Amino acid sequence: MTADDVREFAAALARQALALPELATARTVAAYVSVGSEPGTLALLDTLRARGVRVLLPALLPDNDLDWGDYTGPDSLARVRHGGRMALFEPAGERLGPEAVTEADVVLLPGLAVDARGMRLGRGGGSYDRVLARLERAGAHPALVVLLYAPEVVERVPEEPHDRPVHAVVTPSGVRRFGRPPGTPGP
């Protein structure tokens, strides 16, 4: 994709995500800053912040768990290289602890693919599997939304016993739901 394509897809992704009722009413959103070929998230993060939403971003810990910090704009990000892996953009300010994610009304998750059942394929580090387990243990029920490109929504991905389905996937071209997120009205 060209740089223009990447910008256009990021803007389209933000428009689709911002139309979600879950994000319209969210007070706190746990998100991430896209890297590499992932769909761009900064436009979405900045719009959420401009709406008065508290945005939490992850910081990778040595054991692959995630700590969290507040996103207050592009100047609040630090580029951090973790060993031989790609550099990540993480919050530069105070760390809030791994449990901070339990305050989120919506958790935006990265992934490589989501299947027709709502099962998410991650990068294999287990960071977000830990987040989902932490949410479950805490009795927290945020809407779980994956941000992807349309071709990354596939028929089936491999599944492990600890995997949990997400509620929706957002692509630049639309939204696909897999179950009703907590707090949303029925049909």
122 annotated to a ligand binding site: yes
Say how far apart CA 109 and CA 179 lie, in whole Å.
16
Q: Where are the alpha helices (DSSP H) in 19-112?
A: 21-25, 42-50
156 annotated to a ligand binding site: no
Say how far apart CA 31 and CA 44 lie, in whole Å.
10
Determine contact, residues 177/141, Cβ cutoff 8 Å.
no
Give, in order, the Cα–Cα distances in Å from 100 to each of 59, 113, 114, 153: 12, 26, 25, 29
> String of b and e for 1-29 (b: at least 16 CB within 10 Å)?
eeeeeeeebbebbbebbeebebbeebebb
120 annotated to a ligand binding site: yes
15 annotated to a ligand binding site: no
139 annotated to a ligand binding site: no
126 annotated to a ligand binding site: yes
List residues forming the annotated binding site for ATP: 120-128
User: Which residues line the annotated binding site for substrate?
Assistant: 33, 38
Which residues are annotated as part of the binding site?
Answer: 33, 38, 120-128
